[in-house]
């Protein structure tokens, strides 16, 4: 099961992820920082996973949601 599918089963966590991973005034993610404190460009990978999980909750098929990080999202849990 993918992490996205897990997230789709956890509406509270999903909602929190979407609200936390929002763009700041520079269009960077407010939540994601690398070790040097640099923000990730928004939408970050977490936000794209959350958006895909939302899509699944609305009836979308897993793996059919496109996004900027699509080729990187082959990690399965």
Whether the CB-CB separation of 32 and 26 falls below 8 Å is answered with no
For the bound state, the minimum distance from the C-beta of residue 59 to Zn ion, rounded and expressed in Å, comes to 25
Distance separating alpha carbons of residues 33 and 61, to the nearest angstrom:
30
Q: Which of 5, 6, 31, 69 binds Zn ion (CB under 5 A)?
A: 31
Task: Assess 44 for contact with Zn ion (CB under 5 A).
Answer: yes
Task: Assess 53 for contact with Zn ion (CB under 5 A).
Answer: no
The DSSP secondary structure of 41-70, one letter per residue, reads ESS-HHHHHHHHHHHHHTTPPTT----TTG
For the bound state, the minimum distance from the C-beta of residue 77 to Zn ion, rounded and expressed in Å, comes to 19
Task: Assess 56 for contact with Zn ion (CB under 5 A).
Answer: no
Task: Assess 46 for contact with Zn ion (CB under 5 A).
Answer: yes
Helix (H) or strand (E) holding 32: strand 28-33
Binding site for Zn ion (CB under 5 A): 21, 29, 31-32, 44, 46
């Amino acid at each position: 099961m993918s992490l996205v599918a897990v997230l789709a089963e956890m509406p509270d966590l999903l909602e929190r992820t979407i609200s936390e991973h929002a763009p700041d005034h520079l269009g960077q993610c407010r939540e994601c920082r690398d070790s040097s404190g640099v923000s990730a460009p928004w939408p970050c990978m977490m936000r794209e996973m959350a958006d895909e999980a939302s899509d699944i909750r609305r009836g979308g098929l897993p793996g059919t949601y496109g996004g900027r990080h699509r080729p990187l999202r082959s990690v399965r849990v």
